[in-house]
């Protein structure tokens, strides 16, 4: 069968036209492009065109994709209180504009430092911000996201603490993070032990102490945890019995106000940087971060940028300590991460720089105050209870006497995305849902939420 | 290419400090501010955090204005080269044009503001989009299912090997070894080891490909899979790929294909038709999502029928009424590879590209990518040594063998290319070629750009003979010159520190 000659139909992304092709074939010394594919055996060649839509013009693509996007009910046209590891914070206009600069957007991993100083210096700055925010010493250039960053942290701890087989993960860890760890380590012979929470919503310290036997190599907790409650790092550190302490931060803006894990003896802090002004975009791309104590630096997975000088003595930046990485170490690498989330780390660097010392605190302060206002108003309404009494940052669990799914459906009717039902993660929590507040919410939004929720509950009671 | 840089070093003429941009922390000045939030409109409570939970100020965090930030990052950007500015011929990296329509559509509020934990009925547009990209990749791969969860090529490899492990374990024996040719990407052995296997390296033959009899010798009931790159890292197609699959399948093992080089044969041949059981595709390579200085990417994995039950959860399914849902109900699944739904907004970009190309365009990608690579090969062959003479597809690997007599090496040639305005090719890879220069132009390059690149390479070859010191000391015109990389590793400085005065 003869296939249509695609060279007859010039494509806007492919410059060479038939005249170029003819000249180039002449230089190569063959009479057709097909001759260049002769090493692909006939019996594996496709004897037809792919059966897929296109080619589309920009006009057709805009129409189709926008129509699809319009089918979503999102924060674009609803009042949203969704969190659970992905938060809608203020996005400064200049961040996205700067990200679109081709020199950042369309460059590769900075393996050639002489022509990649922009990317390298930005990563060095990003690493510095991470250290300042977490109170730890050495940060890497980024990991995929919060969940895989936790996986890498667990694997790092295993490399450092030899001959132990158990890792403790708080039950109040983001359940999808814990699930990802289970996938990653399924063939490595670890035992994962979960430790539950108290009525404050904090990790059960008595249970944690009992679980911290000499065969435990790491303890991983999240703060604020998946219930929104802040953990007591010092109290946890007092019972971990020599295991590596891993703190997970799924709401990165909390670091603007909450005491950082590095200050309380945690050796590793990993987390999700999405809250630093990255759109929630259905879960990705985000940016995982990892910051560790100095002593762990050579066990760090992923890329690291270091400072050095060029032959003229000028300060310059370069990927360093690469002997840990898979392109050098191959089967003995500390991690298999190669492509990371550099552009999102750049966005985070821009956001952190723009907000700066004051802005990071103010975003956190406002988010916390507004969440507290909503909590207070809800309690005052008498329509809901708050099952966990521990201090929170900007997120908390609401309990009503009715199934969360029904209440949230009522809110959706009023154009409110009112929360995340907990039952999908924790059995026995059918009436509970998780609510997040940020600096983007106004008092009017919060009052409206209380009003609509109260009305929904009143309707259910009838 | 109009000018050839002749000066021994441009720095003498450049004033100290030119071309260099200080760190953002060095721009900081007390009292500057780059943002404004609305005033807090709720009553303030001072009792929310106990003193032990509250942090002190973030010591040394920056204080800069928006102008400072814009200037800083604009200046930094000018220190990078990029595909938008010209050929970026990194072999195995497929640095192709990144259409801006992809960027525009990914920013559609309905996509960008959607939340990963929304109920399925609220995100039907997203789920339908995921379903469409899976359908499209199924057809491109010739495979029954594709997981969209992996967010990078290496992540896809790990996903694939975990699936192989689970499938074999279910049939009674997870086995011990993964076979990997010596020409493979470093991520392959790293992923295999990570998933719990030992790696056995197989030696390439004189064509740079894998010999069937060698494979046959090594495949037994302890071997879980062969991981192979098609075409391989020399750009050479494994002509016996179907027979390799048969050898593996006879012994109950799997054939994993590293799809980093899919750009060579997309629309021309399909992995599924070759007997391949799994392939990951780096969407940031073949399907044009921007590399962004090292990510984000996406690494969907296509699988053969036998492996479908082991796919990561959740999968995207369509009901008879045309609605879509995320399905966690796969008892044999390896589990979740990441929180949420993969790099969704990278997938939006990739599907935009697939629709822009259509079947004709995707086929044309491979045709012109291969034409462009063979054109470079024809123009540079002879001047540069071609260690493996087998016909190659989308990339060509030369070595520095003709230049080493002048004591000029691959690294020097790469650095000198920068003076001519080009990003260097991938160097010293694949490892089976001493002093490798691995060149992949992609279909995005017009003939004029290829000619300019070849002219530069030929001029450098002449310089190697006539003025080797000029090449050895390159680059001369870049924002910084060669770096002291040993010092960076020996005395690591991995963050900025305020002066202690």
Contacts of A434 (CB under 8 A, 6+ apart): A83, A84, A226, A227, A228, A395, A396, A397, A398, A419, A420, A422
Q: How far is B212 from chain A (nearest CA, A)?
A: 16
Instruction: Tell me if chain A has a CB within 8 Å of the CB of B167.
Output: no
Sign for the pseudo-dihedral over CA of A81, A84, A86, A92: positive
Q: Which of A170, A195, A197, A201 is nearest to A385 (CA)?
A: A201
Q: What is the pLDDT of residue B186?
A: 87
pLDDT at B313 over 50: yes
- In angstroms, rounded to a whole number, what is the distance separating the alpha carbons of residues B398 and B315? 43
Contacts of A421 (CB under 8 A, 6+ apart): A404, A405, A408, A432, A433
Buried b (16+ CB within 10 A) or exposed e, B412-442: bbbbbbbbbbbbbbbbbbbebbebbbbbbbb
A129/B488 Cβ within 8 A: no
pLDDT 10s digit of each residue in chain A, 462 long? 567 665 677 899 999 999 999 999 999 999 999 999 999 999 999 999 999 999 999 999 999 999 999 999 999 999 999 999 999 999 999 999 999 999 999 999 999 999 999 999 999 999 999 999 999 999 999 999 999 999 999 999 999 998 899 999 999 999 999 999 999 999 999 999 999 999 999 999 999 999 999 999 999 999 999 999 999 999 999 999 899 999 999 999 999 999 999 999 999 999 999 999 999 999 999 999 999 999 999 999 999 999 999 999 999 999 998 876 666 667 777 777 888 999 999 999 999 999 999 999 999 999 999 999 999 999 999 999 999 999 999 999 999 999 999 999 999 999 999 999 999 999 999 999 999 999 999 999 999 999 999 999 999 888
* CATH of region A79-89+357-461, choose from 3.90.480.20, 3.20.20.80, 3.30.70.3420, 3.90.1150.10: 3.90.1150.10
**Of A69, A122, A280, which is closest to B116 when you measure between CB atoms?**
A280
A362/B70 Cβ within 8 A: no
- In angstroms, rounded to a whole number, what is the distance separating the alpha carbons of residues A292 and A303? 14
Residues of B in contact with A114 (CB under 8 A): 415, 418, 475, 478-483
Rg (CA), chain A: 26
Q: What is the pLDDT of residue A162?
A: 85
Residues of A in contact with B191 (CB under 8 A): 336
B400 and B374 Cβ atoms separated by less than 8 Å: no
pLDDT at B16 over 90: no
Residue A80: phi and psi, rounded to 5, are -110, 140
**Of B88, B374, B429, which is closest to A108 when you measure between CB atoms?**
B88
Q: Which residues pair with B256 in a beta bridge?
A: B227, B278
A128/B355 Cβ within 8 A: no
B113/A75 Cβ within 8 A: yes
Alpha helices by DSSP H, listed for A39-145, are 58-70, 93-99, 102-105, 117-134
**Of B70, B199, B355, which is closest to A94 when you measure between CB atoms?**
B70
Q: Which residues pair with A416 in a beta bridge?
A: A79
DSSP annotation string for B281-326: --TTTTT----TTT------EEE-GGGGGGPPSPEEEE-TTS-EEE
B24/A349 Cβ within 8 A: yes
Q: What is the pLDDT of residue B2?
A: 36
Q: How far is B136 from chain A (nearest CA, A)?
A: 6
B70 and B257 Cβ atoms separated by less than 8 Å: no
A259/B495 Cβ within 8 A: no
Q: How far is B500 from chain A (nearest CA, A)?
A: 16
Q: Which of B292, B442, B348 is nearest to B107 (CA)?
A: B348
Q: Which of B501, B392, B476 is nearest to B9 (CA)?
A: B476
B347 and B148 Cβ atoms separated by less than 8 Å: yes
Q: Which of B153, B145, B499 is nearest to A326 (CA)?
A: B153
- In angstroms, rounded to a whole number, what is the distance separating the alpha carbons of residues A83 and A395? 7
As a whole number, mean pLDDT of residues B259-270 equals: 97
Q: CB-based burial of residue A424 (10 Å sphere; 0-12 exposed, 13-18 middle, 19+ buried)?
A: middle
Q: What is the pLDDT of residue B10?
A: 44
B355/A53 Cβ within 8 A: yes
A92 and A277 Cβ atoms separated by less than 8 Å: yes
Q: Give the pTM.
A: 0.96
Instruction: Tell me if chain A has a CB within 8 Å of the CB of B490.
Output: no
Q: What is the pLDDT of residue B501?
A: 53
Across chain B, what does the average pLDDT equal?
Answer: 94
Residues of A in contact with B480 (CB under 8 A): 113-114, 117, 310, 312, 314, 316
**Of A23, A187, A366, which is closest to B447 when you measure between CB atoms?**
A23
Q: How far is B299 from chain A (nearest CA, A)?
A: 10
Token readout for A376 is 């207070």
Q: Which of residues 432-461 of B touch A (CB under 8 A)?
A: 443-447
Q: Which of B198, B204, B206, B256 is nearest to B227 (CA)?
A: B256
Q: Which of B473, B472, B465 is nearest to B402 (CA)?
A: B465
Q: Which of B88, B475, B495 to mutate to test the interface with A (most CBs of A within 10 A)?
A: B495
Q: What is the pLDDT of residue A459?
A: 92
B471: left (phi over 0), alpha (psi -120 to 50) or beta: alpha
Q: Kind of pairing, strands A395-399 and A416-417? A: unpaired
Q: Which of residues 28-87 of B touch A (CB under 8 A)?
A: 28, 32-35, 37-38, 40-45, 48-50, 52-55, 57-64, 66, 69-70, 72-74, 76-85
A390: left (phi over 0), alpha (psi -120 to 50) or beta: beta
Closest chain B residue to A29, measured at CA: B378
Token readout for A457 is 């509950």
Q: Which of A288, A173, A162, A159 is nearest to A219 (CA)?
A: A173
> For B80, which DSSP code?
B
Q: Which of B15, B42, B455 to mutate to test the interface with A (most CBs of A within 10 A)?
A: B42
Instruction: Tell me if chain A has a CB within 8 Å of the CB of B364.
Output: yes
Residue A288: phi and psi, rounded to 5, are -85, 140
Q: What is the pLDDT of residue A339?
A: 84
Rg (CA), chain B: 26
pLDDT at B17 over 70: no
Closest chain A residue to B68, measured at CA: A354
B335/A116 Cβ within 8 A: no
Q: Is it true that the peptide bond before A451 is cis, omega within 30 degrees of 0?
A: no
For the stretch B355-402, pLDDT in tens is 999 999 999 999 999 999 999 999 999 999 999 999 999 999 999 999
Q: How far is B419 from chain A (nearest CA, A)?
A: 10
A56/B355 Cβ within 8 A: yes
What are the boundaries of each domain within chain A?
79-89+357-461, 93-351
Q: Which residues pair with A405 in a beta bridge?
A: none
- In angstroms, rounded to a whole number, what is the distance separating the alpha carbons of residues B141 and A32? 26
Residue B175: phi and psi, rounded to 5, are 70, 175
Residues of B in contact with A73 (CB under 8 A): 118, 122-123
Is the CATH code 3.40.640.10 the one for domain B101-356?
yes
As a whole number, mean pLDDT of residues B40-61 equals: 94
Token readout for A25 is 């074939």
Closest chain B residue to A3, measured at CA: B360
Residues of B in contact with A54 (CB under 8 A): 354-359, 361
Token readout for A133 is 């925010």
Helices (H) and strands (E) in chain A, counts: 13, 14
Contacts of A177 (CB under 8 A, 6+ apart): A85, A146, A147, A150, A222, A248, A250, B339
Q: What is the pLDDT of residue A7?
A: 62
Report the complex ipTM.
Answer: 0.97
Token readout for A6 is 């695609």
Is the CATH code 1.10.10.10 the one for domain A93-351?
no
pLDDT at B19 over 60: no
Q: Which of A296, A272, A332 is nearest to A148 (CA)?
A: A272
pLDDT at B88 over 80: yes
A401: left (phi over 0), alpha (psi -120 to 50) or beta: alpha
Q: What is the pLDDT of residue B194?
A: 86
Provide the 3-class DSSP secondary structure of residue B133: helix
A443/B153 Cβ within 8 A: no
Q: How far is A437 from chain B (nearest CA, A)?
A: 13
Q: Which of A107, A111, A143 is nearest to A337 (CA)?
A: A143
**Of A51, A60, A100, which is closest to B103 when you measure between CB atoms?**
A100
CA–centroid distance for B171 within its chain: 34
pLDDT band at B199, cuts 50/70/90? Answer: very high
Residues of B in contact with A187 (CB under 8 A): 162, 165, 174, 195-196
Q: Give the number of C-alpha atoms closer than 13 A to the C-alpha of residue B360, restricted to the C-beta side.
A: 16
A338/B153 Cβ within 8 A: yes
Task: Please state the three-class secondary structure of B382-400 as a single string.
Answer: CCEECCCCCCCCCCEEEEC
Q: At what angle do helices B344-380 and A58-70 cross, to 10 degrees?
A: 150
Buried b (16+ CB within 10 A) or exposed e, B313-348: bbbbeeeeeeebbbeeebeebbbbbbbbbbbbbbbb
pLDDT band at B11, cuts 50/70/90? Answer: very low
Contacts of A35 (CB under 8 A, 6+ apart): none
Alpha helices by DSSP H, listed for B313-440, are 344-380, 410-419
Residue with tokens 């999240």: A222
pLDDT at B4 over 50: no
**Of A4, A282, A337, which is closest to B116 when you measure between CB atoms?**
A282
For the stretch B148-168, pLDDT in tens is 999 999 999 999 999 999 999
Alpha helices by DSSP H, listed for A185-249, are 205-211, 233-237
Contacts of B211 (CB under 8 A, 6+ apart): B205
B122 and A78 Cβ atoms separated by less than 8 Å: no
A6/B364 Cβ within 8 A: yes
């Amino acid at each position: 069968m003869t296939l249509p000659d695609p060279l007859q139909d010039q494509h806007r992304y492919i410059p060479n036209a038939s005249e170029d092709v003819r000249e180039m074939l002449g230089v190569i010394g063959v009479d057709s492009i097909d001759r260049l594919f002769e090493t692909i055996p006939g019996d594996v060649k496709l004897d037809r065109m792919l059966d897929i839509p296109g080619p589309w013009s920009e006009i057709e693509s805009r129409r189709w994709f926008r129509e699809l996007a319009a089918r979503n009910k999102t924060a674009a046209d609803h009042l949203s209180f969704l969190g659970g590891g992905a938060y809608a914070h203020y996005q400064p206009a200049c961040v996205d504009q700067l990200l679109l600069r081709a020199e950042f957007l369309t460059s590769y991993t900075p393996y050639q430092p002489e022509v990649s100083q922009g990317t390298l210096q930005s990563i060095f700055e990003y690493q510095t911000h991470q250290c300042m925010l977490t109170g730890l010493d050495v940060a890497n250039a980024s990991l995929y996201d919060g969940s895989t960053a936790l996986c890498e942290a667990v694997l790092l701890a295993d490399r450092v603490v030899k001959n132990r087989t158990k890792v403790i993960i708080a039950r109040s860890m983001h359940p999808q993070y814990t699930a990802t760890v289970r996938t990653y380590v399924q063939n490595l012979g670890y035992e994962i032990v979960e430790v539950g929470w108290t009525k404050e919503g904090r990790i059960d310290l008595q249970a944690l102490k009992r679980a911290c036997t000499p065969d435990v190599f790491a303890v991983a907790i999240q703060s604020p945890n998946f219930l929104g409650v802040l953990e007591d790092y010092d109290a946890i550190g007092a019972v971990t019995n020599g295991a590596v302490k891993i703190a997970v931060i799924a709401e990165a803006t909390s670091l603007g106000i909450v005491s950082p894990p590095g200050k309380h003896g945690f050796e590793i802090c990993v987390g999700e940087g999405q809250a630093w002004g990255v759109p929630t975009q259905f879960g990705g791309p985000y940016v995982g971060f990892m910051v560790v104590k100095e002593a762990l630096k050579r066990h760090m997975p992923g890329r690291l940028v270091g400072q050095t000088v060029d032959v003229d003595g000028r300060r310059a930046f370069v990927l360093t300590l690469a002997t840990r990485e898979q392109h050098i170490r191959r089967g003995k690498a500390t991690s298999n991460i190669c492509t990371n989330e550099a552009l999102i780390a750049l966005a985070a660097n821009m956001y952190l720089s723009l907000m700066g010392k004051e802005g990071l605190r103010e975003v956190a302060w406002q988010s916390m105050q507004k969440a507290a206002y909503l909590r207070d108003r809800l309690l005052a309404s008498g329509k809901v209870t708050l099952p966990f009494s521990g201090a929170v940052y900007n997120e908390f669990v609401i309990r009503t006497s009715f199934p969360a799914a029904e209440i949230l459906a009522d809110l959706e009717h009023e154009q409110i995305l009112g929360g995340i039902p907990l039952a999908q993660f924790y059995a026995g929590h059918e009436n509970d849902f998780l609510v997040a507040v940020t600096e983007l919410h106004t008092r009017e939004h919060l009052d409206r939420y209380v009003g609509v929720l109260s009305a929904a509950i009143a309707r259910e009671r009838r | 290419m109009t000018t050839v840089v002749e000066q021994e070093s441009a720095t003498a003429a450049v004033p100290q400090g030119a071309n260099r941009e200080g760190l953002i922390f060095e721009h900081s000045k007390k009292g500057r501010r780059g943002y404004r939030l609305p005033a807090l409109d709720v009553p303030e409570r001072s009792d929310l955090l106990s003193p032990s939970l509250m942090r002190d100020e973030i010591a040394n965090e920056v204080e800069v204005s928006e102008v400072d930030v814009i200037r800083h990052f604009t200046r930094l950007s000018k220190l990078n080269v990029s595909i938008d500015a010209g050929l970026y011929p990194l072999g195995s990296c497929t640095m192709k044009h990144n259409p801006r329509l992809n960027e525009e559509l990914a920013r559609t509020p309905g996509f960008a503001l959607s939340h990963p934990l929304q109920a399925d009925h609220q995100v039907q547009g997203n789920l339908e989009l995921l379903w469409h990209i899976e359908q499209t990749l199924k057809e491109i791969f010739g495979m029954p299912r594709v997981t969209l969860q992996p967010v990078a090529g290496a992540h896809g490899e790990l996903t694939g090997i975990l699936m192989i492990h689970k499938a074999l374990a279910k049939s009674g024996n997870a086995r011990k070894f993964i076979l990997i040719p010596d020409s493979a990407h470093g991520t392959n052995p790293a992923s295999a080891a990570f998933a719990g296997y030992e790696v056995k390296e197989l030696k390439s033959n004189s064509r740079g490909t894998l010999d069937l009899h060698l494979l046959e010798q090594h495949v037994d009931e302890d071997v879980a899979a062969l991981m192979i790159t098609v075409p391989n890292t020399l750009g050479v197609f494994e002509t016996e790929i179907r027979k390799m699959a048969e050898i593996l399948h006879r012994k109950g093992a799997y054939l994993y294909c590293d799809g980093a080089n899919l750009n060579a044969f997309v629309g021309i041949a399909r992995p599924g038709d070759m007997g391949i059981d799994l392939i990951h595709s780096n969407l940031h390579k073949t399907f044009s999502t921007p590399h962004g200085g090292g990510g984000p990417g996406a690494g969907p994995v296509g699988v053969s029928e036998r492996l479908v039950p082991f796919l990561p959860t959740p999968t995207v399914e369509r009901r008879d009424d045309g609605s879509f849902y995320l399905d966690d109900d796969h008892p044999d699944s390896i589990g979740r590879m990441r929180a949420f739904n993969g790099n969704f907004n990278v997938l939006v970009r990739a599907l935009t590209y697939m629709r822009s190309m259509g079947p004709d365009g995707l086929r044309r990608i491979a045709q012109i990518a291969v034409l462009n690579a063979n054109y470079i090969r024809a123009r540079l062959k002879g001047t540069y040594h071609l260690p493996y003479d087998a016909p190659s597809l989308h990339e060509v690997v030369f070595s520095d063998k003709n230049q080493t007599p002048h004591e000029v090496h691959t690294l020097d040639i790469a650095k000198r290319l920068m003076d001519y305005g080009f990003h260097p090719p991938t160097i010293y890879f694949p490892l089976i070629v001493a002093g490798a220069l691995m060149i992949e132009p992609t279909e995005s390059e017009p003939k004029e750009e290829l000619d300019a690149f070849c002219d530069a390479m030929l001029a450098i070859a002449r310089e190697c003979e006539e003025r080797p010191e000029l090449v050895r000391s390159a680059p001369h015109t870049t924002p910084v010159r060669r770096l002291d990389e040993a010092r960076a590793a020996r005395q690591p400085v991995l963050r900025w520190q305020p002066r202690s005065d």
